[in-house]
Amino acid sequence: MNPTNNMLCGTLFETLWSILSSRVAMTLYFVLLFGSVAAIIISVLYLTTEKKQAKVPEKKETKVDGEEAPEMKEETFTGALEIIDDDDITSRFHTLVQLDRAAQRYVAPKYDKDITLPVICHNFRNYAGSALGLFYSEEDIRKFIAGIGVSHLMVMQGLSGTGKTSMATAFGSYLQNPSTVIPVQPMWKERSDIIGYFNEFTKRFSEGTLLKKLYEARYTDEMYVIVLDEMNIARVEYYFADFLSQMELSPSNRYLEVVSDTWDDDPKLLNRGMLRIPENVWFIGTANNDDSTFAISDKVYDRAMMMNLDRKADIFEPEPTEGDKISFTHFKKLVEEAKEKYSLSEEMNEKVRKIDEFLTSQYHITYGNRIRRQMEEFVPVYIACGGTEIEAIDDMIAKKVLRKLDSLSPVVLRYSIDALENVFETTFGLQNMTLCRESLDRLRRAAM
């Protein structure tokens, strides 16, 4: 070989060796080695954690509405079905199969078959006050009970500390079947965020608390309350879209797709990967209206019963009261009997029609058949709970109809609000429509 080439190769080799053996190169080797080891450790820990979570769900402590919520054992299912952790379960749905086994041991409790709606309202109010130190007005209790009699979705709005979440959790405690509180997360966008998802690493389904409660409810006649705390911190119509759509169907046709395929050892109540949504479950969402939350869309408002808690109720001396064991079947019977007995009067129907005609002609706004149906169902149940027809109509029009005017231009409202108020005065008498009068005053201030 040419001596010149030999010298050149030697020089290149020495230069390359000096680079590879330099401190910079040694540092780079160390970083790459450390990164590889760290990646392996993290992967092992991740797989171990996922496996543990699939078998032993962790307890959560929830702080809601600026208050400490009652201690909830969301994952133990001691309210109805008591599960025993079995290591021999190979199904991808670990807890749901446990619930299948627990259902074979389940003995239904003795329900109160003679309790009435007025007694439920009376006992719930006194139970909340005496056992929990929570105080609510008779009107708010009636609105709550009548609201769940109409829809399985309720949205509770109001200032922080007025008892939105507390009322929902107190009702579960009163029923002796603790409510399940699910804190909504800002990043939720789809169904899997709320019911769970299939984990490709563990080959298990990460079962969400909601999915477990829905599955458990299929086996019992208990009344279940699921609290979606701060539900509008994410877009409700995104993560809750499947449930909103199902509410338009008859109860027997409400199916939630959990997985898209079927395995031989899947839980018994999954039909081709779908779970029928049980009727004995209510979703109660708490909502705050501030810069950190999303506006609740009409799609949600129109399907849900709304309840406003804008002020704390006066403290009273409650009667010492224990909870009642009420079955879903009995509660449904009470609601149906109320609808048959206390239908909306013809006189009130005519008054409501006049308001609708004015809103349609003046603002091109109408409340539609869905809200009309809710009104016809809410009024009888509210009356059966001990209220009056005019109170129920006042509440429904203020919450469901007048809120639609919020989207109008202030200029339009400024020159028409007096005419609208006059229609209410001549039709109902504003002294009888406290909530509507407050809504009209708010609209007037906003238009100034």
Burial tier of 242 (Cβ tally within 10 Å: 0-12, 13-18, 19+) = middle
Tell me the pairing of strands 67-68 and 63-64.
antiparallel
Q: Which amino acid is residue 395, in one-letter code?
A: D
Instruction: Check whether 51 has a pLDDT greater than 80.
Output: no
- Cα angle 168-395-121, degrees, rounded to a multiple of 5: 45
Average of per-residue pLDDT across 248-262 = 91
- pLDDT digit string (tens) for 364-391? 888 778 888 999 999 999 999 999 999 9
Buried b (16+ CB within 10 A) or exposed e, 139-151: bbbbbbbbbbbbb
Residue type, 265: D
CA distance 133 to 269: 40
pTM above 0.85, yes or no: no
Q: What angle do CA 57, 61, 62 make, to 5 degrees?
A: 120
Phi, psi of 375 (to 5 degrees): -65, -45
For residue 409, the model assigns a pLDDT of: 83
Q: What are the structural domain ranges in the chain?
A: 22-55, 63-309, 342-447
Instruction: Work out the angle between the directed axes of helices 434-447 and 389-396 (0-180°, nearest 10).
Output: 20
- The reported pLDDT for the residue numbered 21 is 59
Which H or E element spans position 303? helix 298-303
pLDDT for res 65: 40
Task: Match 């230069």 to its residue by tokens.
Answer: 15
63-309 belongs to which homologous superfamily? P-loop containing nucleotide triphosphate hydrolases (3.40.50.300)
| pLDDT, the chain, mean | 84
| Average pLDDT of the residues in 402-420 | 86
Condensed to tens digits (0 to 9), the pLDDT of residues 187-201 reads 999 999 999 999 989
Distance CA 401, CA 427 (A): 16
Mean pLDDT computed over 215-222: 96
CB 399, CB 308: distance < 8 Å: yes
In whole angstroms, give the CA distance from residue 298 to residue 424.
24
- Return d(Cα 212, Cα 205) in angstroms, integer: 12
User: Under a CB-based contact definition with an 8 Å cutoff, are residues 437 and 430 in contact?
Assistant: yes
User: Are the CB atoms for 178 and 351 separated by under 8 Å?
Assistant: no
Query: Which two three-digit tokens encode residue 118?
Result: 């007025």
